[in-house]
Structure 1
Amino acid sequence: MRGRTGIVLALAAGLALAGCSEDWGVDQHGRPVAAEQLEGQWLVINYWAEWCSPCRSEIPQLNALAEQLQGRGVRVVGVNFDGLQGGELARASEALGIRFGVLAQDPAERLKLPPGEVLPVTYIVDAQGRLRERLLGEQNAVGLAARLQTLRGGGS
């Protein structure tokens, strides 16, 4: 009887895991980004590059927004436009003073984001994974927070 119970539990665990979403790769520090860290959250996804002056200017604003919205169902996430990986991504993120998570794997295909023609570009994705807004050019914390509040129906 014990053998059958073990098999049933193993099958149940396998089915439960099969329903889980795929992880999001690693961040700029090489730490895994589990699906449950980002899914079910509103996402502010900012594409940046070291050579982009407006990108460099908006990083402190994005840091402030990430801190302001911590624990409120919103995550600020960065993506390097040039596709830097590993040590190069860590170095560039550190050089720009980025304190929010930067995904090493571009989530554009996963989230069906349109290609960005200019930098910086910021996407707002709702908790169901739907693109709600594409913002071109330099953003600030106040404007992004107001936009999020409007899109979320007045909630914070």
Structure 2
Amino acid sequence: MRTRWNSAMQLLCAALLLAGCTEADWGTDQHGRPVAAAQLDGRWLVINYWAEWCGPCRKEVPELNRLASELAAQPVRVLGVNFDGLQGEELRKATAALGIAYTNLASDPAARLGLTSSQVLPVTWLVDPQGRVREQLAGEQTAAGLQGKLAALRAQP
């Protein structure tokens, strides 16, 4: 009896640990690859909401690609989120059509991070390594402008 109980408890603990790991992960990217919490936690996040039909979003993509490339060696990650909730092959095709090179999350992180819905696109959120929203930027952004904002926020205590 005790052996069965021990085995059941071990299975329950393993299931709880695995469930906890899954909850901590961020879902998948535009290619269907998992985005593990270890890839994003403890880093500054630049989260950009975009849509295919949004002209300023399209103009902003090269700037975000540049930012992601320039900050690749730093603890900063640029992430995209499709405003229309595209998933799977639709999301992959849309990011490819727009030339988006940075990671796009298939699952909206709004609830996880406490982001409020925006009536304007594009909208970019700056989130610190502790997961606190530090700034919401409405409208088209530039790589230089975002680097300046991040530098200013990082310099604050």
- Normalising by the smaller structure, the TM-score range is 0.7 to 0.9
- 1:86 is aligned to 88
Tell me the percent identity. Answer: 62
Query: What is the alpha-carbon root mean square deviation over aligned residues?
Result: 2.0
Displacement over 6 Å in runs of 4+: none
CA drift of 1:139 comes to 0.1
User: How many residues matched?
Assistant: 147
- 2:49 is aligned to 47
TM-score (norm 2): 0.86
CA drift of 1:77 comes to 0.1
TM-score (norm 1): 0.87
- Map residues 68-147 of structure 1 onto 2, 5 A cutoff: 68-147=70-149
Amino acid in the other structure paired with 1:135? L
Matched residue SS, 2:155: coil
Which structure 2 residue ranges, 5 or more long, are not aligned?
none
> Hey, which of these two has a bigger chunk of helix by percent?
2
Which structure 1 residue ranges, 5 or more long, are not aligned?
none
Matched residue SS, 1:102: strand
CA shift digits 1:10-44 (9 cap, x unpaired): 69x84866765521110000001111111111000
Whole-angstrom distance in 2 between the partners of 1:17 and 1:84? 27
Whole-angstrom distance in 2 between the partners of 1:153 and 1:17? 37
Matched residue SS, 1:147: helix
